[in-house]
Amino acid sequence: MNFIVFDLEATCWENRQRKQSEIIEIGAIKLNEYAEVVDTFSSFVKPVVHPFLSPFCIQLTSITQVQVNRAAKFYSVIEEFQDWIDMEEEYLLCSWGDYDRKQLIKDCEFHDIDSYWVEEHINLKAQYQKIRGLNKPYGLKKAVVSEGFEFEGIHHRGIDDAYNLAKIFGKFFDEWVY
C-alpha cells in the first residue's frame, strides 16, 4: 500500500471572507508500507474563479502571483497528481485535518471531475489528538515541534507541510487506524 501524505494551499482572504477558495498548491509525499519515502509531488495550480491572489494569501503561503500565473489549471494538475498516486495500486490519502479532503472534493466537483478517489482518506490531526490524549487538536507546526522534530521549510507551503507531516506519520506509523 502507498500512503499519500499531502497538503493543499488554497486561495484565501483576510477575515475568512466568504469567497470560493480554489487549490493553488498540491504537495505530497508518497510512503510505502514500511513508512519509507518513495517519491514527492509538488505543483502549483492556476486559480480561475479568483485568479488574483489576495495580499493576505501571498503573505500566509509565500506563493506568488507569478507562480500561479505560470501554473497549469486544476484539471491538468489533478490528472498529474492522480497518475503520480498510481490509483491502480492500493493507496490511502493522509492529511492534517479534513479541510484538504473537502477542498479536493469541492475543486473536483467545480471542474466536473469525479471525486470518488478522494474517499480513501484519513484525518491524521484527529487521530493524533486521540493518540496523544490531547484536550484540543494541535496545529501541524506545534505537533511537529512537540514530537521533537524541527519544522523544516515554510509553514503553509504545501510541499513543506507535507514533508513535515510525513515525519509525524512515520513516527506513529503503527498507530494510525484505516
pTM across the whole model: 0.96
Q: What is the CATH number of the domain that holds 48?
A: 3.30.420.10
pLDDT in tens, the chain (178 residues): 999 999 999 999 998 777 899 999 999 999 999 999 999 999 999 999 999 999 999 999 999 999 999 999 999 999 999 999 999 999 999 999 999 999 999 999 999 999 999 999 999 999 999 999 999 999 999 999 999 999 999 999 999 999 999 999 999 999 999 9
Domain range enclosing 131: 2-175
Task: List the end-to-end C-alpha distance of the chain, in Å, as a whole number.
Answer: 12
CA–CA separation, 162 and 157 (whole Å): 8
- Count the domains in the chain: 1
SS3 of the chain: helix, strand, coil, percent, to 5: 45, 20, 35
For residue 154, list its beta bridge partners: none
pLDDT recorded at residue 18: 77
